[in-house]
Amino acid sequence: MATEKQYRVIYHLGGEVKAVDLVKADTAKEAACNLDCGETKTFIGENNVFYKFRMEDVKMISVEKLEDDNSVGNKAFL
């Protein structure tokens, strides 16, 4: 059984605008799964920033694995 790791899921909304969510999951793919185009995402993300946006406005999603010291390890782009 794999232990959950922490991932930084980055929603790229166009230009330099990004929404960042910290997610616990077994894999990077699992961290960014179950996303519905018609869904509205609402969450308090990194640095206690409140985000609310429609998934149809997302241009790209990237996932970064956080190491134990909160540094970034492997990256995955979806």
Residue among 32, 8, 29, 30 at smallest CA distance from 19 = 8
CA dihedral sign of residues 74, 35, 49, 53: positive
CA dihedral sign of residues 48, 52, 38, 14: negative
Contact yes or no for 76/22 (Cβ under 8 A) = no
Q: Which domain holds residue 23?
A: 5-77
The pLDDT score that the predictor gives to residue 63 is: 94
The pLDDT score that the predictor gives to residue 74 is: 59
Above 60 in pLDDT, residue 77?
Answer: no
Neighbours of 10 (CB within 10 A): 21
The mean pLDDT value for 39-61 works out to 91
Provide the number of structural domains found in the chain: 1
Model confidence, pTM: 0.78
